[in-house]
Structure 1
Amino acid sequence: MMRMKGLVDDSQAAWFGSLMTVGAMFGGPLAGLLIEKYGRKRTMFLSSLPFAAGYVLILLADKGTLMYLFCGRLMTGLASGMVTVVVPVYIAEVSTKTLRGALGSGVQLSITIGILLAYSLGFALDLRPMACVGIICATLIAATSFFTPETPRYLLMRNQKAAALKSLHDLRGPHTDVQEECRDIEDALSPQEGVSWRDFSKAELYRPLQIAIGLMVFQQCSGINAIMFYTVSIFRSAGFKESGELATVLIGVVQVVATLLSLMVIERAGRRTLLLFGGALMTITCITFGWYYHAVSGVAESQLAAGNLAWLPIASLIIYMIGFSFGWGPIPMVLTSEIFPSQARGTACGISIFINWLCGFLVTKEFISLQAVLGPAMTFWLFAMFCFLSMVFVWRLVPETKGKSLEDIELYFLGRSLIRGV
């Protein structure tokens, strides 16, 4: 894959990869504060700055300048954490209730397309040309943010009704009557401008925060990082020795297609259905992964390639990625951006994203140690248990939000709505 000059051993390469999650852990809460103080639109612009700065540092790095690489990676991680908060919140607040799920899933679709492009370009480009691509993308984020309207909900929170009506006209069309929608948003807004930590002890904030944190923890404990870690070795053990790296591109294609299908059906099937469906596929395939590694324990790789089980890990890998991309890839981010009231959305999403990246860092960092202690089979069975528990969590606690306005969802957690929950 991509050749990384300046990284002389696997330990340095591992640090280069993990520093992104460290930066993202702090980027999420930072964006949560910024979107409440400066707005959603300005925060999107601000997120482009650490992206650009990080890629410039990576571009300037050369042998003996590891600090440039590490600081650059940390900065791009910070920006990634900011984006994973502000973009879902922005989309949730500007979308209609019939399109919010599909547009929200578009965030994950964009991520999977970006991963696929990075995998593909990595075969041909070195680290520095890839950094140039990153700088171009950061510049595009900054430029396009000037043409995006601020969300009507944020403007109404700042008592800027005229600007909110103009924003609604920009979003819905100049000939659309937006007065009723504006009144609905106003009626649902609390006169309180922000929230304090004490407010999270109230049921209307504690319950959605509990759901959001649960979704983020189960997403990262589902085994996605372990599956991606094993991708190349799975293909090589099945006999594709010379093209094992191409497996990452194939899995990237599977992710993009499955996420696109999820986007197309989310408003028909609903969030809960896709989470349960994805969780079921992931549970089954983690069990088959564990059974495979248990069955072939101690068998030489050459024997595996010629054996009858060579197809099983590849089939499990593809089905697992379909399940993740349908449900636990896009839906947690969509739900997290929907279930909090406007005044708390930035802070609460920042907390949730911090938990998400923290769990991602811990799972990625400790995976090698975990599979060394338990073995590959038990490790995948442990992930199967988490996938099954995620289904129980969704069944018992997560309400269905498809077709509901953000105001209806807020009323549900206040106990004043008839949204069908669990």
Structure 2
Amino acid sequence: MQKQKTGIRHMFTGTLPQVVASLTGTISAVNDGMHYGWSAPIIPILQSDDTPIRISKTDESWLETMYLIGGIAGLPVTIYLVDKIGRKNSTIVSSCTSLLSWILIALAPNVACLYVARFLSGLAGDMAFVATPMYVAEIADQKIRGLLSSLIYLMMLFGILLIYLIAPFTPFYVPSIVGSLLLITQLASFSFMPKSPYYLLSKNKVDSARKALDRLRTTKNNEAELEDISRAIERQKKEKGRPQDLLLVKSNRKALIVMTVLNAAQHFCGISVMLMNMHSILTEAGSVYLKSTTTAIIFSVCMLTAATFSSFFVDKYGRKFLLITSSSLTGICLLVLAIYFNLKTVGYDVRSVSWIPIACVMAYAAVFKIGLGMVPIVISAELFSNRVKAMGMTIADAMYLIFGLLSIELYKGLSESYGYHVPFYLFSALSLVTTVFTIVIVPETKGKTLEEIQMLLKGEKPVCSNDDDATDNLTQA
């Protein structure tokens, strides 16, 4: 036990400036989580007799999808800003945009104003989920990079839980006030954090990069690390950074394949379906023992708890282990749910075991977030080289949104045409396929510098091993 505590203490030794910068930088993700989960508790309020804004049935659908449309529309803006003004400044722009959306929601006189606000919130979310992981990955020591990179998703899950806890029980404008206060806190603190040394060196600002690195490290002499980063930047500058280089360069191509499959796996393992259709799934299963608001809160707590544990394990046990464990257990949960629906469809009396769907859904929330729901966001900023990172991560984010829409449409079509068991059988099979893909294709990035990861993707042997001792030696150097 003492050894474990020592290991945890060692992991955080000398990293306080990085932790503070990452925490202040990821506050915007809380707001993105609030925006992401906003429609679930707010639309019933807008449907009620004492609604502050009258909406139609068509408006309900558009208020949900406008967030995703804003995210997709923000892709070219994000690609431009993260390389033009930097990762830190892009995060600040995202926070300002999100703040504007909360103000519009609080003061909205009609549903058209809500449309604009939802569009802006989606645009801000896309920018934040590209710029902030890039910033965190580039400022963090490799021994704690996985934990810090996972903060953005932890913050988002906390935001989803927060909107579920506040919106159903308070006036319509209260979530906007809470979200605005969080963003003002971020703007007042994160604005004083150092910029990414990687970004500064890519702009030939050597003195600024040195000062930023000195602020982010507690060690007095950081010249060796600055030289390592400079060499990595110079090598990567030889890669032209054209859109086609995502396919022509071996390391970029493998990174794109890994992120495409993992982003697809998240949705085709059922997370968007669960989040948006949980109540109807449990109703069809005959397991409505809890109110929908209570079920959503418990589901969010399970996800947040599992994700918190995962963030501490990702640097200890590695990315691949968590992905393999998560995808295989997710497949089992979905298989049990599919079998339950199948038995119910063919006429078996399942009333005595009607607790199974609730148990499966809650277990699913936990095992999904241990790996599938966390690791992709951690490694997205690790895999792409500096020259194509903005394009690669933005494309990965776009695929995340597209696969989310496709998975929901697939679920609706299969469940309505053939029964609920069919999509869950399919999602279960795809979860197990993801397990195999992870074992065979996904690289282990635990304990490696960003440059070593590029060498690994190119098929070249990394400079050092990824065991703890090697990592320790690198840090001390």
- Aligned partner of 2:20 in structure 1 is none
- The answer on 1:195 being equivalent to 2:225 is no
- The answer on 1:100 being equivalent to 2:145 is yes
- The answer on 1:31 being equivalent to 2:75 is no
**Distance change (3 Å), C-alpha of 1:108 and 1:294:** same
- The answer on 1:112 being equivalent to 2:157 is yes
Q: Check the 8 A contact 2:55/2:111 in 1, yes or no.
A: no
Written as runs of structure 1 = structure 2, the 5 A alignment for 1:223-372 is 223-233=270-280, 240-241=288-289, 243-297=291-345, 307-372=351-416
**Distance change (3 Å), C-alpha of 1:412 and 1:218:** same
Q: Check the 8 A contact 1:16/1:70 in 2, yes or no.
A: yes
Deviation at 1:10, TM superposition (A): 4.0
Deviation at 1:406, TM superposition (A): 0.5
Corresponding residue SS for 1:127: coil
One of 198, 203, 208 as aligned partner of 1:163: 208
Distance 2:108 2:259 in 1: 38
- Aligned partner of 1:154 in structure 2 is 199
- Aligned partner of 1:211 in structure 2 is 258
Q: After alignment, is 158-167 or 8-17 more displaced?
A: 8-17
Structure 2 residue runs of 5 or longer lacking an equivalent are 1-40, 467-477
Distance 2:395 2:102 in 1: 26
- Aligned partner of 2:118 in structure 1 is 73
- Aligned partner of 2:104 in structure 1 is 57
Counterpart of 1:53, as a letter, is L
Distance 1:394 1:73 in 2: 35
Distance 2:224 2:136 in 1: 20
Distance 1:68 1:370 in 2: 35
- The answer on 1:407 being equivalent to 2:451 is yes
Distance 2:425 2:409 in 1: 19
RMSD, matched Cα: 2.2
Counterpart of 1:34, as a letter, is L
One of 180, 184, 189 as aligned partner of 2:228: 184
Distance 2:290 2:231 in 1: 62
Distance 1:7 1:299 in 2: 42
Distance 1:382 1:239 in 2: 22
Q: Check the 8 A contact 1:370/1:379 in 2, yes or no.
A: yes
Deviation at 1:413, TM superposition (A): 2.2
Q: After alignment, is 363-372 or 344-353 more displaced?
A: 363-372
Distance 2:223 2:149 in 1: 25
Counterpart of 2:196, as a letter, is T
The two structures have a TM-score, normalised by structure 2, of 0.82
- The answer on 1:136 being equivalent to 2:184 is no
Q: Spell out, residue by residue over 1:127-151, the C-alpha distance to the aligned partner (whole angstroms, 9 max, x if none).
A: 3222232222333333333112101
**Distance change (3 Å), C-alpha of 1:365 and 1:371:** same
Corresponding residue SS for 2:255: helix
Deviation at 1:238, TM superposition (A): 5.7
Distance 1:412 1:406 in 2: 10
Q: Check the 8 A contact 1:90/1:151 in 2, yes or no.
A: yes
Q: Check the 8 A contact 1:91/1:103 in 2, yes or no.
A: yes
The two structures have a TM-score, normalised by structure 1, of 0.92
**Distance change (3 Å), C-alpha of 1:128 and 1:187:** same
Q: After alignment, is 79-88 or 228-237 more displaced?
A: 228-237
Corresponding residue SS for 2:371: helix
**Distance change (3 Å), C-alpha of 1:134 and 1:298:** farther
Q: Check the 8 A contact 1:24/1:81 in 2, yes or no.
A: yes
Deviation at 1:347, TM superposition (A): 1.5
Deviation at 1:76, TM superposition (A): 0.3
Q: Check the 8 A contact 1:119/1:249 in 2, yes or no.
A: yes
- How many pairs does the alignment contain? 414
Corresponding residue SS for 1:211: helix
**Distance change (3 Å), C-alpha of 1:111 and 1:143:** same
Counterpart of 1:390, as a letter, is T
One of 384, 398, 421 as aligned partner of 2:442: 398
Q: Check the 8 A contact 1:42/1:145 in 2, yes or no.
A: no
**Distance change (3 Å), C-alpha of 1:127 and 1:360:** farther
Q: Check the 8 A contact 1:21/1:360 in 2, yes or no.
A: no
Q: Check the 8 A contact 2:164/2:297 in 1, yes or no.
A: yes
Q: Spell out, residue by residue over 1:157-185, the C-alpha distance to the aligned partner (whole angstroms, 9 max, x if none).
A: 11111111111111112x43211111111
- Aligned partner of 1:89 in structure 2 is 134
**Distance change (3 Å), C-alpha of 1:240 and 1:385:** closer
Q: Check the 8 A contact 1:208/1:413 in 2, yes or no.
A: yes
**Distance change (3 Å), C-alpha of 1:334 and 1:239:** closer
Distance 1:74 1:374 in 2: 34
Distance 2:407 2:288 in 1: 28
